């Protein structure tokens, strides 16, 4: 019930409605399947012996109702019409099954798309402070794999329901045909199914947990490999071998989990078919032992059981396999449910005026129960050039994140002019900030795509910010704004990557420009050039710099030192 509630919670009202109609469709399919099985034997019975038409209490009334002649030709006509009707019914049965298969596939894949969209939106609304505690490979796995496994679980649930009704209807048919034989078969098969579910499902759950853990490791190793390939290449042979061994170990665990799961899915079908058809053969051998007449008497019923078992046993197998699939991927339900219920920001886009100053009033901020900033009071005037210095871990970047609105203070207040930053205006405030980090993220695309970063292309503005960033002339010797940067910007130098980051920040036409140790990885000469350009660019902007080197902040109006969670005015 725990997982049923969680699974139900993943479906919105519209999707739950579609699921309900699919369940009804599954019941209808089950009825069609049962009718298809039960109609074969009467047709064979009539076609092989016309006397059965008149001797059977069910055939005779239908024969009379439709006005067939009580002659040889009438008997043949009745058998032919019966056969044609059965032929049309089986075409209808095939068409209905195809429609159901398409509808179910459409539903499950739409559900996958819906879950991935929900996850993506959830991650977009995730507070920055929460995101920093997450592993990117874990988030990627949730969107790419775990959401897909949820659709597999839903598909298995629908299949389980459909096959369950097939079994119910066929079981009722077999009870009508011979309740004694049916009960014997039932007892034997139920014992077998119970043993299978107890033994296999327990193992499937264990293997499912192993699969989830191994796949998480698998994604993490891939992220490490592609995230810093240069460092990987610079390792010695022993370290490279250890990296390969660790990756092979995680892949091996993931592979073995899937092998065991595939094997466990095959076991029920083989055992159930072996037991089911062995029972039919043993029953026939027993009747032969008793005498030939017993076989002739029970042959039509026995034939019905063979046909029913031919359809029934795969249904039982699918039910057991579907249940095992649900158990195997049960961890995906936990993961997706947990991710979708993670903390989200709910902001509005109320316009905020910034004409005079930014004020921090007795601001405190903690991270993972550790006090980072304590009782910070600060004023930054519009068009100020402000620098924050201090040792690593002192809280400089955290302070800047608070000013940018990425994090919200635990205590105190941040005001822009006279308006306090809150959920009504934070989104608008963030859009006014241009951020230039130390580690520049460039994806495998063109200069234009990397600068626009998902925003609408404005060619004039693009060229303007590239000129301001002092990289446009360099691009003219390449393919202009269509120059490919390579993944991570490997086709560019460190200084060029930083200039692209500056252009990206300026493309949003920000009022506040933040440099978070943006030039610390560059050599002194390149840093001086870029900082000179930034000071020129930021003439009409408020500039906030986080830096280690004093040369970086030589032209700043005010310098503050952040030390042990406190802020100290240095000069200005």
CA atoms within 13 A on the CB side of 512: 27
Look at residue 134 in the predicted model and tell me its pLDDT.
Answer: 79
Q: How confident is the model at residue 230 (pLDDT cuts 50, 70, 90)?
A: very low
Kindly state the percentage of the chain with pLDDT values over 90: 2
Kindly state the percentage of the chain with pLDDT values over 70: 79
Look at residue 267 in the predicted model and tell me its pLDDT.
Answer: 67
Q: What gap in Å lies between CA 535 and CA 555, rounded to an integer? A: 8
> 361-382, pLDDT tens digit by residue?
999 998 878 888 888 899 999 9
- The first and second tokens of residue 194, run together, are 């119970």
Look at residue 213 in the predicted model and tell me its pLDDT.
Answer: 74
- The first and second tokens of residue 224, run together, are 């490490």
> Per mean pLDDT, which of 163-172, 255-264, 339-348, 413-422 is the most reliable?
413-422
> 289-336, pLDDT tens digit by residue?
555 455 555 555 555 666 666 666 677 777 777 777 777 777 888 888
Q: Which residues contact residue 538 at a Cβ distance below 8 angstroms, ignoring those fewer than 6 apart?
A: 385, 513
50-58 average pLDDT score: 72
Q: Give the residues across from 419 on adjacent strands.
A: 416
Statement: 357-571 belongs to CATH 3.40.50.970? no
Q: What gap in Å lies between CA 406 and CA 435, rounded to an integer? A: 11
Domain residues of the chain, as ranges? 178-341, 357-571
Q: What gap in Å lies between CA 482 and CA 448, rounded to an integer? A: 6
Q: What gap in Å lies between CA 161 and CA 150, rounded to an integer? A: 17
The kind and range of the H/E element at 314 are: helix 292-328
Q: Which residues contact residue 128 at a Cβ distance below 8 angstroms, ignoring those fewer than 6 apart?
A: 401, 406, 407
390-418 average pLDDT score: 87
Look at residue 142 in the predicted model and tell me its pLDDT.
Answer: 82
């Amino acid at each position: 019930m725990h997982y049923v509630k969680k699974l139900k919670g993943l479906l919105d009202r519209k999707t739950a409605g579609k699921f309900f109609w699919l369940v009804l469709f599954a019941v209808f399919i089950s009825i069609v399947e049962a009718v298809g099985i039960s109609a074969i034997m009467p047709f064979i019975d009539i076609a092989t012996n016309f006397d059965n038409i008149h001797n059977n209490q069910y055939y005779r009334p239908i024969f009379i109702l439709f006005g067939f002649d009580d002659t040889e030709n009438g008997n043949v006509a009745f058998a032919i019409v019966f056969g044609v009707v059965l032929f049309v019914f089986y075409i209808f049965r095939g068409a209905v099954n195809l429609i159901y298969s398409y509808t179910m596939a459409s539903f499950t894949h739409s559900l996958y798309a819906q879950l991935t969209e929900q996850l993506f939106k959830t991650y977009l609304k995730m507070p920055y402070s929460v995101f920093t505690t997450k592993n990117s490979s874990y988030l990627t796995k949730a969107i790419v794999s775990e959401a897909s496994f949820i659709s597999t679980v839903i598909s298995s649930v629908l299949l389980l329901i459909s096959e369950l009704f097939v079994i119910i209807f066929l079981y009722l048919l077999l009870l009508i045909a011979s309740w004694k034989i049916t009960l014997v078969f039932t007892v034997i098969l139920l014992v077998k199914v119970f043993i299978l579910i107890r033994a296999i499902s327990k193992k499937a759950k264990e293997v499912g947990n192993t699969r989830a853990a191994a796949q998480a490791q698998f994604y993490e190793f891939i992220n490490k490999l592609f995230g810093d390939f240069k460092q990987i290449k610079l390792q010695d042979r022993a370290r490279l071998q250890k990296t390969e061994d660790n990756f092979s170990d995680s892949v091996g665990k993931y592979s073995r989990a899937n092998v065991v799961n595939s094997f466990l899915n095959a076991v029920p079908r083989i055992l159930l078919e072996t037991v089911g058809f062995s029972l039919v053969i043993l029953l026939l051998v027993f009747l032969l032992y008793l005498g030939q007449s017993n076989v002739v008497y029970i042959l039509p019923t026995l034939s019905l059981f063979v046909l029913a078992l031919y359809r029934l046993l795969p249904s039982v197998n699918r039910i057991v396999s579907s249940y095992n699939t649900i158990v195997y991927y049960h961890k995906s339900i936990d993961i997706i449910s947990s991710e979708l219920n993670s903390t989200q920001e709910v902001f509005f886009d109320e316009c905020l005026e910034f004409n005079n100053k930014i004020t921090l009033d007795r601001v405190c901020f903690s991270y993972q129960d550790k006090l980072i900033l304590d009782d910070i009071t600060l004023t930054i005037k519009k068009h100020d050039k402000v620098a924050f210095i201090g040792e690593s871990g002192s809280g400089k970047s955290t302070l800047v994140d608070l000013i940018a609105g990425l994090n919200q203070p635990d205590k105190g207040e941040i005001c822009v002019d006279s308006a306090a930053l809150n959920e009504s205006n934070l989104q608008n405030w963030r859009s006014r900030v241009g951020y230039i980090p130390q580690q520049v993220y460039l994806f495998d695309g063109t200069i234009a795509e990397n600068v626009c970063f998902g925003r609408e292309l404005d060619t004039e503005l693009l060229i303007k910010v590239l000129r301001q960033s002092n990289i446009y002339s360099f691009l003219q010797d390449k393919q202009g704004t269509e120059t490919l940067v390579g993944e991570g910007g490997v086709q560019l130098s460190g200084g060029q990557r930083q200039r692209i980051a500056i252009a990206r920040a300026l493309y949003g036409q920000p009022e506040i420009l933040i440099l978070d140790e943006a030039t610390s990885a560059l050599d002194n000469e390149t840093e001086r050039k870029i900082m000179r350009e930034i000071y020129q660019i930021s003439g009409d902007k408020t500039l906030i710099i986080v830096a280690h080197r004093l040369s970086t902040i030589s032209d700043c109006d005010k310098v503050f030192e952040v030390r042990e969670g406190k802020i100290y005015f240095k000069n200005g």
